Chains A and B, each alone.
Chain A
Amino acid sequence: MGFKITRARILWVIFCSFKDEMTAATRNQVLSLYMRVFRIARGWQSTLPQNTEGERQYIVREAQTLFRQNQQLTDTESIKKCIDECVARIEIGLHYRNPYPRPIHLPIMGLATQKGRKLKAQQRMRKQANPVYLQSHDEDS
Chain B
Amino acid sequence: MGLKMQGQHHLVAVSLNEQQQQMESKRKYTWYIPRTNQGKYLILWIIVFGYAAIHVYRCIDAGHQERIQEGLVSMCDQRARMLQDQFSVCVNHVHALAVLVSTFHYYKNPSVIDQDTFAEYTARTAFERPLLSGVAYAQRVMNSERVDFESQHGGTIRTMANKEPSPHRDEYAPVIFSQETVSYLNLLDMMSGEEDRENILRARSTGKAVLTSPFKLLGSHHLGVVLTIPVYKSKLPPNASVRDRIEATAGYLGGAFDVESLVENLLGQLAGNQEIIVKVYDVTNASDPLIMYGRQTQEGDPTRVHVSSLDFGDPFRKHEMTCRYLHEAPISLTASITAVFGYVIVILVGYMFYTGTIHIVQVEDDFDTMQNLKVRAEAADVAKSQFLATVSHEIRTPMNGILGMLALLLDTDLSSTQRDYAQTAQACGRALITLINEVLDRAKIEAGKLELEALPFDLRSILDDVLSLFSEKSRNKGIELAVLVSDKVPQIVMGDPGRFRQVITNLVGNSVKFTEQGHIFVQVHLAEHSKAVQDSKPETCMNGRSNGHQWKTLSGREVADDQNSWDKFKHLISDEEFMFDGNNSQNVNLMVSVEDTGIGIPLHAQKLVFMPFMQADSSTSRHYGGTGIGLSISKCLVELMGGQISFVSRPQIGSTFSFTAKFTRCEKNTVTDPKRTPYDDLPTSFNGLKATVVDTKPVRAAVTKYHLKRLGVLVEVVNSIKTASGQPDMILVEKDVWLSGDNFDNPFNNIRVNGHALKQPKVILLATNVTGGELDKAKAAGFSDTLVMKPLRASMVAACLQQVLGTGKAEQGKGMANGSVYLRGLLCGKKILVVDDNLVNRRVAAGALKKFGAEVECAESGKAALELLQIPHGFDACFMDIQMPEMDGFEATRRIRMMEREINEQQTSGSTDGCCDNRATEWHLPILAMTADVIQATFEECQKSGMDGYVSKPFQEENLYQEVAKFFESKPATDC
Q: Do A and B come from one complex?
A: no
